[in-house]
Amino acid sequence: MRSWLKEVLIALVVGGFAYAVSCALVWPQSLAVGFGIQWQSMSERPFDLVGQFPHRWLAPLLAWLFGLGGENFVVFVRGFSVLLLATIFFFSRTRGARVLDGVLVTLAVAVISPIQMYKEAWLGYPDAMCYTLFFWAMMAAKRPLVFWGLFFVNLSNHELAVFMLPWLWFVRRQTDTHWRIDLVGVGCALSAYATFYLVVRAKAQALFTADYFMAHPLFPGGSLVTWSLALVHYVVAFGPILAVLAWFMHTRAHGRERWHFGLVACGIVAIFCIAFDWARHSHLMVIPLVLAMTRFLAAGHRVIFVGLMVLGAGLMTMPVCRPWAAKTWPTHAILDPALDTGVVILRFTPNELDVTFGPLSTALTGWLPAAWPTLWPVLAILAAIWLAGALFARFRPAAVPPAPRVTG
């Protein structure tokens, strides 16, 4: 028990240190923006069920309980970014990482988009809570009651967690072949959330409900644009460290563990059939990336890892392609043609922004030719990063003996 508590304390220190390092590269702003303003407003009176998505009340409720609602909500969200980084360190340790390797994995995540994007463009968005809960679920995979309870909690933060259900089922299958208890767990979690959702809908005037997404179909034309923007986001906001993920996928010794990447990727692709937030939901890729980083360092590629991390952090500070800004190249050089050609249609009203999407034919004949001169070089860079990772898989340095697993 003492060793477990010691590991938790070390994880919190490492998380705080990594976040401080990230702030040296991107200093966090102080005012919530976009939907962050709504979450902040909800945190003042979470039981009033106000705003466009009152069913996403987990973060506002917790902020209110900790006395960090209202103007302090941004501080609460920053604290959860620290907790996410601490969780990543702790998770890597449970997967056999040495302390130094766990620190490197945590630092590598701290300087890329799942942390940095929420300091300017998405300030006040509690997405770090979603990723943290998924990592906790992986560590609780042997405890089905806790595991599916965390899934329900995650749904109350953002309902799109349901798209990760195939991956969650796989996580459980890796530790327990008795699937009937998971059918019960899934059924209870979904039933409990559906009840909560219907109660909220009966009492509040929410905008972003299932009806909204049905009335604003993204697939297929809008999805093509969104998938493309997500790939661009991976290049500019994750950077060279993605080579580690490619190495992981091309190393056969990792066996079924590589399914984490495929199932998470499928979940992201499915999300972008209904949701346009390419820069937010693409961050779910941090889950298999952390696992890949842990295996990469255990295989003895520490020097290469540090080089990729430093290179990526340096590139992301360049003003010409700084991905954290509200408008940045090359992302908007690909998005703007979608607006110009009618694939993405913005309608401003006094109370809200309404977004609709054009057909696939417009995307193929209008948007794609206009965006292609910028899109294809970015996709070529992504292919080059992946090829580099595949080449890494050919090396076989002496493996680093894993550290003892943390036990609780």
The CA distances from residue 107 to 46, 79, 173, in Å, are: 34, 16, 30
As a whole-number percent, the residues of the chain with pLDDT over 90 amount to 74
pLDDT at residue 287 in the model: 97
Give the model's confidence band at 51: pLDDT under 50 very low, under 70 low, under 90 confident, else very high: confident
In terms of DSSP H, where are the helices of 285-330?
Answer: 286-298, 302-315
As a whole-number percent, the residues of the chain with pLDDT over 70 amount to 94
Mean pLDDT of 56-73: 94
Looking at the predicted structure, is the pLDDT value of residue 211 above 80?
no
pLDDT at residue 400 in the model: 47
Looking at the predicted structure, is the pLDDT value of residue 248 above 60?
yes
Higher pLDDT, 20 or 349: 20
Let me know if residue 252 belongs to a domain. Answer: yes
Looking at the predicted structure, is the pLDDT value of residue 402 above 60?
no
Question: Is the Cβ–Cβ distance between 31 and 331 less than 8 Å?
Answer: no
The Cα–Cα gap between 399 and 376 comes to 37
Task: Tally the domains of the chain.
Answer: 1
Give the model's confidence band at 80: pLDDT under 50 very low, under 70 low, under 90 confident, else very high: very high
Question: Is the Cβ–Cβ distance between 284 and 131 less than 8 Å?
Answer: yes
Looking at the predicted structure, is the pLDDT value of residue 401 above 60?
no
Mean pLDDT of 151-161: 95
Let me know if residue 282 belongs to a domain. Answer: yes
The Cα–Cα gap between 371 and 254 comes to 37
Looking at the predicted structure, is the pLDDT value of residue 247 above 80?
yes
Let me know if residue 96 belongs to a domain. Answer: yes
Looking at the predicted structure, is the pLDDT value of residue 27 above 50?
yes
Instruction: Give residues with Cβ within 8 angstroms of 385, minimum separation 6.
Output: 235, 239, 240, 242, 243, 246
The Cα–Cα gap between 296 and 305 comes to 8
pLDDT at residue 396 in the model: 62
Give the model's confidence band at 1: pLDDT under 50 very low, under 70 low, under 90 confident, else very high: low
In terms of DSSP H, where are the helices of 158-285?
Answer: 165-173, 180-203, 210-215, 221-237, 242-249, 259-271, 278-281
Q: Which two tokens stand for residue 375?
A: 């899109």
Let me know if residue 341 belongs to a domain. Answer: yes
Mean pLDDT of 96-100: 95
The CA distances from residue 386 to 19, 230, 280, 359, 380, in Å, are: 27, 16, 22, 31, 10
Let me know if residue 400 belongs to a domain. Answer: no
Q: Among 191, 140, 153, 132, which residue's Cα sits nearest to residue 61? A: 153
Let me know if residue 167 belongs to a domain. Answer: yes
pLDDT at residue 89 in the model: 98
Let me know if residue 403 belongs to a domain. Answer: no
Find the domain containing 344 and state its range. 2-392
Return the bridge partners of 354, or none: 347
Q: Which two tokens stand for residue 61?
A: 């409720």
Looking at the predicted structure, is the pLDDT value of residue 191 above 90?
yes
Mean pLDDT of 279-290: 96
**Which residues in 79-143 belong to E strands, given as ranges?**
none
Bond into 220 cis (ω within 30) = yes
Pairs from 330-336 (Cβ < 8 Å, separation ≥ 24): 330/232, 330/236, 330/374, 330/378, 331/229, 331/232, 331/233, 331/236, 331/279, 333/371, 333/374, 334/225, 334/228, 334/229, 334/232, 334/371, 334/374, 334/375, 334/378, 335/225, 335/229
pLDDT at residue 408 in the model: 41
Looking at the predicted structure, is the pLDDT value of residue 215 above 80?
no
Instruction: Give residues with Cβ within 8 angstroms of 132, minimum separation 6.
Output: 80, 83, 84, 87
The Cα–Cα gap between 314 and 321 comes to 11
Q: Could you give phi then psi for residue 346, rounded to 5 degrees? A: -105, 130
Give the model's confidence band at 348: pLDDT under 50 very low, under 70 low, under 90 confident, else very high: low
The Cα–Cα gap between 136 and 87 comes to 8
pLDDT at residue 267 in the model: 97
Higher pLDDT, 12 or 253: 12
3-state secondary structure of 275: coil
Looking at the predicted structure, is the pLDDT value of residue 325 above 90?
no
Mean pLDDT of 383-388: 96
Q: Among 112, 128, 111, which residue's Cα sits nearest to residue 36? A: 128
Give the model's confidence band at 403: pLDDT under 50 very low, under 70 low, under 90 confident, else very high: very low
Let me know if residue 402 belongs to a domain. Answer: no
Q: Could you give phi then psi for residue 345, rounded to 5 degrees? A: -120, 120
